[in-house]
């Protein structure tokens, strides 16, 4: 089940150490799934992934959810990519990810530009709107296997912040003012 909370800002020396930890405020400040949806545009649900172990079943799940393309990525196998995932960025398309195994942190910015850390674990499906700033990291378990879903041909472009003049970013920011 997805859990989310505000984290301390980055003014740290050892980023590798802290990026994989919970980094709660003191006292902790949690964010509800409803707030995540309304304020940030992050939607979540839980899926019993044990029912979708074969390629055929994953294909069925993809179609059932309305997506035409998918792939699977093991983040620990992409150490060189890990740094780019953790660099704050946005996309032109929604980011839709189902955790097939392991766990990790999907950090998103709120309207006041504060970081919210979203813990995703096995079975969590997260979809985030195009134009929202975010980043991804492994947690201390060092294992995250993701099923990545796309509505159209996958666009792997990550647009690093700042993108404040980008039309997709502007559309996201305007929608965030009124809630999603
Ligand atoms: Fe992303």
Is 91 annotated in a binding site? The answer is yes
CA 2 to CA 113: how far, in whole Å? 21
CA of 126 to the centre of ligand 1 (A): 12
Q: How many domains are there within the chain?
A: 1
Mention every residue, 6+ apart, whose C-beta is less than 8 A from residue 50: none
CA of 72 to the centre of ligand 1 (A): 15
Enclosing domain of residue 124: 3-178
Q: At 52, is the pLDDT very low, low, confident or very high (cuts 50, 70, 90)?
A: very high
DSSP 107: E
CA of 30 to the centre of ligand 1 (A): 23
Angle at alpha carbon of residue 110, lines to 139 and 32, rounded to 5°: 70
Between 154 and 41, name the one with better pLDDT. 41
Q: At 10, is the pLDDT very low, low, confident or very high (cuts 50, 70, 90)?
A: low
- For 113-152, the pLDDT digits (tens) are 999 999 999 999 999 999 999 999 999 898 999 999 999 8
CA of 91 to the centre of ligand 1 (A): 6
> Which CATH number characterizes residue 58's domain?
2.60.120.10
Is 45 annotated in a binding site? The answer is no
Q: Residues for the chain: how many in total?
A: 180
| Nearest to 117, CA basis, from 141, 139, 101 | 139
| Nearest to 114, CA basis, from 40, 37, 41 | 40
Q: How many CB atoms lie within 10 A of CB 26?
A: 6
Quick check: 47 and 96 in contact, CB under 8 A? no
CA 115 to CA 111: how far, in whole Å? 10
DSSP 162: P
CA of 158 to the centre of ligand 1 (A): 6
CA of 55 to the centre of ligand 1 (A): 24
Q: At 91, is the pLDDT very low, low, confident or very high (cuts 50, 70, 90)?
A: very high
């Amino acid at each position: 089940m997805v859990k989310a909370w505000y984290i301390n800002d980055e003014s740290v020396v050892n980023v590798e150490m802290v990026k994989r930890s919970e980094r709660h405020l003191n006292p902790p400040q949690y964010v509800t799934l409803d707030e995540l949806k309304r304020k940030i545009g992050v939607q979540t649900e839980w899926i019993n992934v044990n029912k979708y172990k074969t390629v055929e079943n994953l294909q069925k799940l993809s179609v059932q959810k309305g997506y035409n393309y998918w792939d699977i990525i093991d983040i620990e196998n992409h150490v060189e990519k890990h740094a780019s995932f953790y660099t704050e960025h946005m996309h032109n398309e929604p980011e839709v990810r189902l955790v097939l195994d392991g766990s990790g942190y999907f950090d998103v910015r709120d309207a006041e530009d504060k970081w919210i850390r979203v813990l995703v674990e096995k079975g969590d499906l997260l979809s985030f709107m195009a134009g929202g700033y975010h980043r991804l990291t492994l947690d201390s378990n060092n294992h995250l296997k993701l099923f990545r879903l796309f509505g159209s041909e996958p666009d792997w472009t990550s647009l690093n912040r700042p993108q404040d003049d980008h039309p997709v970013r502007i559309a996201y920011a305007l929608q965030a003012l009124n809630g999603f």
